[in-house]
Chains A and B, each alone.
Chain A
Amino acid sequence: MSLKILTEHCSTPGIETLEVYRKKGGYTAVEKALKKMTPDEVVEEVKKSGVRGRGGAGFPMGMKWSFLAKPEGVPRYLVCNADESEPGTFKDHYLMKTIPHLLVEGMIISSYALGANKSFIYVRGELMYVIRILEKAIEEAKAAGFLGKNILGSGYDLELVVQPGGGAYICGEETALLESLEGKRGNPRNKPPFPAVKGLYQSPTVVNNVESIATVSWIVNNGGEAYAAVGVGKSTGTKLISASGHINKPGVYEIELGLSCDEFLNSDEYCGGVRTGHRLKAVVAGGSSVPIVPGSLFLKNANGEDRLMSYESLSDGGFATGTMLGSGGFIVFDETACIVRNTWNFSRFYEHESCGQCSPCREGTGWMQKVLNRIEHGKGSMSDIDLLVDVSKKIEGNTICPLGDAAAWPVASAIRHFRDEFEWHIKHPLEATKPGAVYAGAVLV
């Protein structure tokens, strides 16, 4: 059994209540941090741990915290990004509904470290029942004296607010989230200035993912070095992976970063292998935004070396042959999956969720969706494939926020690795549009 930092007590009955959570050692980290450590010491521990942002971009969390501007007389804010809506990612949802106090505890320590007296948890609006669970947990923590005025006699005050989201994927982009939190339309802001300088209500703000904040209490209890000892290279600690698709055991798994991809996919402890009787065709390793890769390139990189579940190893080979760990939304496709249809499906999502602020993303996502729709329904032409590549190139990197990139990558990578399947769809429209028809020439593992 590998180390479980976040999910160790998840199967304990009643863990969502403060009583059981405290029996399992909960809130000891708050006591330790507030009574024995200065805020800077907490930041230092997090820096030492090397934990990287778990929302998808993988930016070192300690570094993000140290960038926070600290002007006199201006409040600072911590915002937890729980607007998890990427297709394929459902780890934060699981964590919050199962063990809400882990997040609340992490929020208290993180707010203390950053000097924030009011912190927000911005939860995806569709998850009303999770919002109620979190609110209950906050009530309990307040009653026990872990929230409110003068927490544990340390003189530190904190108010924790749960905010239901506006119901848009784009509100998970950190500056759009802040706009939404301020009560405005959730459009991403132009950067610079970054939230660390001017964020919520024009004050310095840190925005962190649920999973990142949930790790803080373990780091405080056990020290940053202990955390850094887990994992490989700059990918330290553990990561929640939400596995779905054509596997025997879909679900949320906590892995130590650096686990081999082969083991994660095939061992019974995790995914339990591709659906029995079927073979592996393709993998989306980190949520719908990351490039899709054929099964062979997921298990081994272009040089034939085994891939590991870590930030560096998965992105080995760049966009030509690699992918990304992203937010940990792990989707597996077997030979019955049609890549064209799947790509169309993803692009429908991005067309629907583009905020419409900047022109390449607003118009480009709709264009790609329509062209893919045509190809999928047997009305494509050969020039459409190059058109898609060109459009995706013109969106990528030219937009305000990363949603443009996220919309372009799945399309570009699907064509890069599965071009013959697109061509088959165009050349044989009658065959391809039959229900359940799939290209037979795909390379399987």
Chain B
Amino acid sequence: MEDIKPTMFKVTVDGVEVEVAPGTTIMQAARQIGPEVAPPAMCYYEPLKGSGGKCRACLVKVAAGSAKDPRPMPKLVASCITPVQDGMVVENFTNPQVVEARKGVVEFLLLNHPLDCPVCDQAGECHLQDFAFENGVSTTRYEEERRTFEKEDIGPYIQLHMTRCVLCYRCVYTADQITDGRVHGVMGRGDHAEISTYIGRAIDNDFSGNVIDVCPVGALTDKTYRFKNRVWFSKPVDAHCDCDKCSGKVQLWYRGDEVIRVTARKNEWGEVKEFICNTCRFEKKKTSDWVIEGPTKVNRASVISANKYGANLIKKPDFALKLAESQYKKIDDSRPYVNEMAEIKQSEDYKALMQKNESFFKK
């Protein structure tokens, strides 16, 4: 019998061509190429059906609709929900209109956001931090009062801090699709809309903890972990156990020898691979509960991977390490750090690095 090969669509994203199956979205096609061209996503979450299209962070310009009809699309489109056509040409980071629109989206999302990163548990693995750092501007034009809410306990394990919410609807979809019954949702509308439970109800079922993992910001936090540690001081380790409710494949977060948090494993886009149950998440906080597989390879662009928020993103670690070393010595009184720094500054190595840095800044 002859092999039936599906016709593949050729799509170009930021000048890179890729072949994808029909029905793929622009976002998925770009992710296949790699993180350099993948649009940011604040609401889209691949494992959740129906998610996407809301945050407008992933807006792209379709410069040519398809090979048959190469007219550009009149408006920017949300890449997470727009299916590709054969011969489609997409402009992402290369289009000034897109860059400008994304700056706008960052500004809108931060408008009512408290920016309390220093005391927020999500800091370090926050999608909004990453998104704002990569696509936004560092100042605000907003002079008005920000919208605030009271913190709310929804169930024994989860706290809702609505002030930080960006209304991505991910937790709503999670509760709809992963758990037996949804008791929370979006109330009100416009900029006064909020996530909340029905009056007097608490979120109480075996998979409710997953809403914490899908939340892109610090709006839904784990009450067993609140204010225990900063993400970047803890060490993630892959582990598993026999669980009759879920796959049991988790990530343990260690501080010293202590398991301070258990989460589901995430892929490089920050999306949960397999949802886990509440018993695994909240109750098994001892190393002896788990079979350790080994340290998690962090390939997601986040603070946990070194120097995410430095200036020279690519060939930086060398330079940063040297600088960190010299800075570290500053603290130590017994060492003549000034001379050493001057020495480093004299070296060819340092000059080359600075030049590289400079050219990056110019870009």
CA distance A395 to B42 in the complex (A): 17
| CB atoms of A190 and B189 under 8 A apart | no
Query: Which of chain B's residues 319-335 have a Cβ closer than 8 Å to chain A?
Result: none
| CB atoms of B193 and A356 under 8 A apart | yes
- Contacts A394-B101, A394-B107, A398-B56 given; indicate if A371 touches B189 (C-beta within 8 A): no
Nearest B residue to A352, CB-CB: B190
Nearest A residue to B169, CB-CB: A357
CA distance A357 to B81 in the complex (A): 15
Find chain A residues with CB under 8 A from B141 CB: 387
B65 CB within 8 Å of chain A: no
Q: How many residues of A contact B (CB 8 A)?
A: 31
Query: Which of chain B's residues 37-56 have a Cβ closer than 8 Å to chain A?
Result: 42, 52-56
A400 CB within 8 Å of chain B: yes
B78 CB within 8 Å of chain A: yes
CA distance A364 to B108 in the complex (A): 6
Nearest B residue to A355, CB-CB: B189
Q: Mask for A85-107, Cβ within 8 A of B = 1, else 0?
A: 00000000000000000000000
Find chain A residues with CB under 8 A from B78 CB: 190, 400
| CB atoms of B101 and A168 under 8 A apart | no
CA distance A354 to B167 in the complex (A): 13
CA distance A387 to B42 in the complex (A): 25
CA distance A398 to B144 in the complex (A): 23
- Contacts A356-B188, A360-B105, A363-B191 given; indicate if A190 touches B52 (C-beta within 8 A): yes
Expressed in whole angstroms, the minimum distance between the Cβ of A175 and any Cβ of chain B is 12
Task: Choose one: A354, A356, A363, A365; the contact of B109 (CB below 8 Å).
Answer: A363
Query: Which of chain A's residues 131-173 have a Cβ closer than 8 Å to chain B?
Result: 168, 170
CA distance A362 to B186 in the complex (A): 13
Query: Which of chain A's residues 363-405 have a Cβ closer than 8 Å to chain B?
Result: 363-367, 370-371, 374, 387, 391, 394-395, 397-400
A22 CB within 8 Å of chain B: no
| CB atoms of A400 and B104 under 8 A apart | no
CA distance A190 to B42 in the complex (A): 16
Find chain B residues with CB under 8 A from A358 CB: 53-56
- Contacts A190-B78, A364-B108 given; indicate if A354 touches B189 (C-beta within 8 A): yes
Task: Choose one: B57, B104, B186, B192; the contact of A394 (CB below 8 Å).
Answer: B104
Query: Which of chain B's residues 89-108 have a Cβ closer than 8 Å to chain A?
Result: 100-101, 104-105, 107-108
CA distance A374 to B144 in the complex (A): 9
Find chain B residues with CB under 8 A from A394 CB: 100-101, 104-105, 107-108
Find chain B residues with CB under 8 A from A362 CB: 108, 167, 190-191, 193
B112 CB within 8 Å of chain A: yes
Nearest A residue to B83, CB-CB: A192
| CB atoms of B101 and A354 under 8 A apart | no
Find chain B residues with CB under 8 A from A351 CB: 190-191
Query: Which of chain B's residues 168-191 have a Cβ closer than 8 Å to chain A?
Result: 169, 185-186, 188-191
- Contacts A367-B111, A370-B144, A371-B144 given; indicate if A360 touches B190 (C-beta within 8 A): no
Find chain B residues with CB under 8 A from A352 CB: 190
Expressed in whole angstroms, the minimum distance between the Cβ of B346 and any Cβ of chain A is 47
A35 CB within 8 Å of chain B: no
CA distance A359 to B166 in the complex (A): 8
Find chain B residues with CB under 8 A from A9 CB: none
B142 CB within 8 Å of chain A: yes
B75 CB within 8 Å of chain A: yes
Chain A interface helix/strand/loop/mixed: helix
CA distance A417 to B299 in the complex (A): 52
A263 CB within 8 Å of chain B: no
A32 CB within 8 Å of chain B: no
Expressed in whole angstroms, the minimum distance between the Cβ of B24 and any Cβ of chain A is 15
Find chain A residues with CB under 8 A from B104 CB: 360, 391, 394-395, 398
| CB atoms of A356 and B53 under 8 A apart | no
- Contacts A190-B78, A387-B141 given; indicate if A360 touches B54 (C-beta within 8 A): no
A185 CB within 8 Å of chain B: yes
Expressed in whole angstroms, the minimum distance between the Cβ of A292 and any Cβ of chain B is 22
Task: Choose one: B59, B101, B190; the contact of A355 (CB below 8 Å).
Answer: B190
CA distance A400 to B169 in the complex (A): 15
Expressed in whole angstroms, the minimum distance between the Cβ of B50 and any Cβ of chain A is 9
| CB atoms of A398 and B105 under 8 A apart | yes
CA distance A365 to B191 in the complex (A): 8
CA distance A48 to B75 in the complex (A): 31
A179 CB within 8 Å of chain B: no
Q: Mask for A340-361, Cβ within 8 A of B = 1, else 0?
A: 0000000000011111111110
CA distance A314 to B52 in the complex (A): 37
Task: Choose one: B54, B57, B189, B192; the contact of A168 (CB below 8 Å).
Answer: B189
Find chain A residues with CB under 8 A from B193 CB: 355-356, 362
| CB atoms of B191 and A400 under 8 A apart | no
| CB atoms of A365 and B56 under 8 A apart | no
- Contacts A355-B190, A398-B76, A398-B101 given; indicate if A363 touches B108 (C-beta within 8 A): yes
Nearest A residue to B80, CB-CB: A190
Query: Which of chain A's residues 312-359 have a Cβ closer than 8 Å to chain B?
Result: 351-359
Expressed in whole angstroms, the minimum distance between the Cβ of B209 and any Cβ of chain A is 25
| CB atoms of B144 and A367 under 8 A apart | yes
Could you give 24 example pairs across A and B, Cβ below 8 Å?
A: A185-B186, A190-B52, A190-B78, A351-B190, A352-B190, A354-B191, A356-B188, A356-B189, A359-B42, A359-B57, A359-B167, A360-B56, A360-B108, A362-B167, A362-B193, A363-B112, A364-B108, A365-B190, A366-B190, A387-B141, A394-B107, A394-B108, A398-B104, A399-B56
Knowing that A394-B108, A397-B75 touch, tell me 13 more A-B residue pairs with CB under 8 angstroms.
A168-B189, A185-B186, A190-B81, A356-B186, A356-B193, A358-B53, A358-B56, A359-B109, A362-B167, A363-B109, A363-B191, A366-B111, A366-B147
